[in-house]
Amino acid sequence: MIEGGIRISNPKIKKKEPLITIITVVKNGEKFLEECIKSVLNQSYKDFEYIIIDGNSSDGTSEVIKKANRNQKKINYIRKKDKNISIRD
């Protein structure tokens, strides 16, 4: 899996159609992630890069991503502990 996406790993790639970036941000989303990945990968438009950012999940999220990528090789996977999204007053 290439960290950083297609544009960063190979900026010389020239496409006929616009390259679209789809990003899924997830933490402990094992239960729903496989369906989300399938939905993205089954789109009719194929000139896209797919980046999944995992907030260091403690469930089986990373295994779901790895399994999906073994079959498709289209997923750029970043796993990194973050501070989560929160709103403070």
Of 17 and 57, more confident: 57
pLDDT band for position 87 (cuts 50, 70, 90): low
Structure tokens at 2: 């290439």
Give the strand pairing for 20-26 and 75-79.
unpaired
The C-alpha atoms of residue 33 and residue 50 are separated, in whole angstroms, by 13
Task: Give the start-to-end residue ranges of the domains of the chain.
Answer: 18-79
Of 18 and 6, more confident: 18
pLDDT band for position 9 (cuts 50, 70, 90): low
Q: Convert the pLDDT of each residue in 23-73 to its tens digit.
A: 999 999 999 999 999 999 999 998 888 999 998 899 999 999 988 888 767
What's the pTM? 0.72
Label residue 31 exposed, middle or buried (CB < 10 Å: 0-12, 13-18, 19+).
exposed
Q: Which of 70, 79, 21 is nearest to 45 (CA)?
A: 21
